[in-house]
Amino acid sequence: MLPPINIGNDTQLFVDNYLIELVNFVTKTMHQPTKHPDNPLITKDKPWEILPYFRNNTSVHFDKDEGLYKLWYEDMGWDYKKFIELQNSASNRDVGQSAGIDAYEKTCFNKLLYAESNDGIEWTKPELNYEKYKDTKTNICLGSKIHGKVHSCSVIHDPIETNIEKKYKAIYWNSKGGLEDTDISSAYSPDGKTWTVSDKPIKIGQLYERQLGDVIILSVNETTGEYYLDTRARAMQEPPLNPKHPKIRGWGPAHYPGNKFRISKRRIFSSLSTNWTEWPILQESFVPDDILDNIDDEYYGLSRFQIGNLWLGILQIFQRTHNTVDLHLVSSRDGFSWNRVDMTKPFLPTGNLADWDSFMADFGTRPVIHDNEIRFYYSGANVHHDWWMFGEMEGLDVPEAKYGFDGKSTALGLATLRKNGFVSIDSTVREGVLQTFALTTTGNKLNINAISQNNGYLLVEITDHKDDVIDGYSKSECIPFKGDSISHNINWENKSSIPDSGSKGIKIRFYSRNCKLFSFDFS
């Protein structure tokens, strides 16, 4: 007999089958967030914004102390005309994509910009003292000739930090020139507006920048105070080319399905640290599956967050052939082994052809819980991943290869989800049942997050670890749940609290008809 699972008072979701012992006549549904009607919420509108790049380098947090939503986003500062001239030179065309990347580095000066909002819908770009445009203060907060370029910056609000000066933390690519002199740097701030840059680059095991891709996402475990870094690793990403195999111009080398020694696809590497500026060696944590994923799917980036004792993640999947990116929901019980929640559809898909987010959706932050909803501030683009950058050089027959990138093609949007409404256990016309494994808890109240429709209901029965119904907690004695509630307390005819789970635990049986059960907890 398995030992009971201690769930404490944490909210329990059904994104995986970890707690489920048996089911009958129920199915599982992953729910997609609803995109806000006012999207996009923020775009280029200042003269110093040359090319705002809202992608996985965008961070949003709600500061409870100040009552403000705070946003950090990147402006590439790109001289696009000069870029085209450099990458289209005769010598560069012979080199191919590497020349395009070199031209990109030489014609960009990436900076970090700041915006804020009272409601998370309408945003302002405050005047800061860091850098001026002509004689006007700007919302640029990091990136200068002194501090260098700031690319792929990940900002977190650290609720555990006791030093007020380090309330906000940032990790980013820092360059004084091109790729050859790039480091991974860190900075800290009391408010997210005024930053102090650390003196030394960040060390990751024995590796520095050149082993990291330019998607770096920082997160913090708010319970333990440990930090996670999720990234792509260059040195581990591309195996040596076989000179006898075809040379294809484009983004990255060929893939060899089923050959674990020649994995060229983008994939996720992770590290865990108690000190956010010193990291152990990166571990390969999430690799595209050659059977379950499409043959050209690549894992572009991962942003993680916690619900109770469960890690959830928003995984960016790059469809290399179509040159698009969309967002998928993943889960983990240990923070390093991940699984897709639904292989049939994205969690947050790209928009329709004419929409502002038609070709790319990115997510590089954590969601914000606002009242009874979860807010996902995501980045969208109506240009493809790299066709706008290298399309002209490669002679691609796509409109963006001809007109490039006007700085309005990426923006920030919002999508909302019912609180803890990621996945539901659904019943229909037949009564369905779900039984958990034996659970232990310190709580004495059972609360559910559920919706019933069409005369539907939900009933709860509690058994001991041997499946014997506990007196007073039978299905027939339960007061039925009907309606829609984020947190409904389950009662029985003569019982308003659950029995003591003891050392061997209790099992919960959920009976329902025409009902969606999203989560439960003990309080």
pLDDT at 36: 98
Is the confidence at residue 241, as pLDDT, over 80? no
Closest C-alpha to 183, from 163, 201, 197: 201
Give mean pLDDT, residues 105-114: 90
Is the confidence at residue 397, as pLDDT, over 50? yes
pTM attached to this predicted model: 0.95
Indicate the pLDDT class of residue 155, thresholds 50, 70 and 90: very high
> 20-24 and 432-436 as β-strands: parallel, antiparallel, unpaired?
antiparallel
Residues 12, 441: contact at Cβ < 8 Å? Answer: no
34-418 CATH fold: Tachylectin-2; Chain A (2.115.10)
pLDDT at 204: 79
Indicate the pLDDT class of residue 245, thresholds 50, 70 and 90: confident
Indicate the pLDDT class of residue 463, thresholds 50, 70 and 90: very high
Residues of the chain with CATH 2.60.120.260: 5-31+423-522
5-31+423-522 CATH fold: Jelly Rolls (2.60.120)
Residues of the chain with CATH 2.115.10.20: 34-418
Residue 466: CB atoms within 10 Å: 9
Mean pLDDT estimate for the chain = 90
Which tens digits make up the pLDDT trace of 4-20? Answer: 999 999 999 999 999 99
Residues 410, 356: contact at Cβ < 8 Å? Answer: no
pLDDT at 165: 96
Residues 173, 151: contact at Cβ < 8 Å? Answer: yes
Residue that has been written with the tokens 């790059």 in this structure: 318
Residue 227 vs residue 247, higher pLDDT: 227
